[in-house]
């Protein structure tokens, strides 16, 4: 694990200073409403308090945008917690220094382009937009209609969505899927090293309880690189 650099601290302060006068609550400026008018999600400062160990690869400014994006991709809503609580961005931040390192340049340019596009087309930084406007920006990015990206914005969107899935539904060993939020959402009964015929039948009778285990909780396996 690397610690946040002094440069990043300074950058973060600058970004917060520019984005909002409320330094200790950087993300509260926008209303939280489901994409289709669902119930309000918990205020983001709760989620912000959950994360906020030192960033490993992304800058604080990039992380703020990414947090806001994944909160729309897999929102917290009537169906329970989403990518925010699963800490998908923590997974991405860590992996960008390891297995996903080749995507680091795409995040640098893509997140900057997304924010520029939000400002030019909707008049405010992405994190400052309403959920509805954030969604409409993301639809533009998804369909390739957003301008200012290196190549098609759709490619960047596909990357973001894929990595958000990885961070929400991947093994918690890699830093996401906190408290097995992703696996519970889709009723995945859990990683097992053996599934008997009786257990398969229990599953078929909706009687197999999720076991909430990471692949690496036992010492059966050589640990993969956690990055």
Give residues in contact with another protein (CB under 8 A). Answer: 34-36, 38, 72-75, 77-79, 82, 99, 102, 135, 138, 142, 161-162, 165-166, 168-171, 173-174, 182-183, 185-189, 191-195, 197, 199-200, 203-204, 206, 215-216, 220-225
> Residue holding tokens 């302060």?
13
Q: How far apart are CA 165 and CA 97, in angstroms?
A: 18
Shortest spacing between CB 171 and another protein, in angstroms:
6
Q: For residues 61 and 82, which CB has a smaller minimum distance to another protein in the complex?
A: 82
Q: Of 128 and 134, which CB lies nearer to another protein in the complex structure?
A: 134
For another protein, which is the closer residue by CB, 5 or 162? 162
Q: To the nearest whole angstrom, how small is the minimum distance from the Cβ of residue 172 to another protein? A: 11
Rounded Cα–Cα distance for residues 107 and 193 (Å) = 36
- Give least dist CB 48 to another protein, A: 21
Q: Report yes or no: 82 and 61 within 8 Å, Cβ to Cβ.
A: no
User: How far apart are CB 209 and another protein at their closest, in Å?
Assistant: 13
* 9 vs 203 by CB, closer to another protein: 203
Strands annotated E in the chain: none
CA quadruple 115, 121, 125, 131: dihedral sign? negative
Kindly state the tokens that stand for 3. 């610690």
Length of the chain equals 227
Q: Are 227 and 95 in contact (CB under 8 A)?
A: yes
Q: 28 or 215: whose CB is closer to another protein?
A: 215
């Amino acid at each position: 694990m690397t610690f946040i650099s002094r440069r990043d601290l300074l950058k973060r302060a600058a970004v917060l200073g520019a984005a909002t006068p409320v330094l200790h609550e950087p993300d509260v400026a926008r209303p939280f409403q489901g994409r289709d008018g669902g119930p309000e999600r918990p205020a983001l400062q709760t989620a912000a308090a959950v994360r906020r160990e030192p960033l490993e690869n992304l800058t604080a400014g990039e992380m703020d945008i990414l947090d806001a994006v994944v909160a729309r991709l897999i929102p917290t809503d009537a169906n329970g917690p989403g990518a925010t609580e699963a800490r998908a961005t923590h997974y991405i931040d860590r992996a960008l220094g390891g297995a996903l390192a080749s995507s680091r340049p795409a995040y640098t340019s893509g997140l900057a382009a997304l924010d520029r596009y939000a400002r030019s087309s909707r008049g405010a930084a992405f994190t400052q937009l309403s959920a509805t406007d954030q969604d409409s920006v993301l639809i533009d990015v998804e369909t390739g209609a957003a301008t200012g990206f290196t190549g098609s914005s759709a490619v960047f969107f596909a990357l973001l969505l894929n990595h958000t899935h990885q961070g929400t539904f991947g093994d918690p060993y890699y830093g996401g899927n906190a408290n097995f939020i992703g696996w519970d959402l889709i009723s995945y009964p859990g990683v097992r090293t053996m599934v008997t015929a009786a257990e398969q039948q229990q599953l078929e009778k909706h009687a197999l309880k999720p076991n909430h285990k990471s692949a690496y909780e036992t010492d059966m396996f050589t640990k993969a690189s956690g990055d």
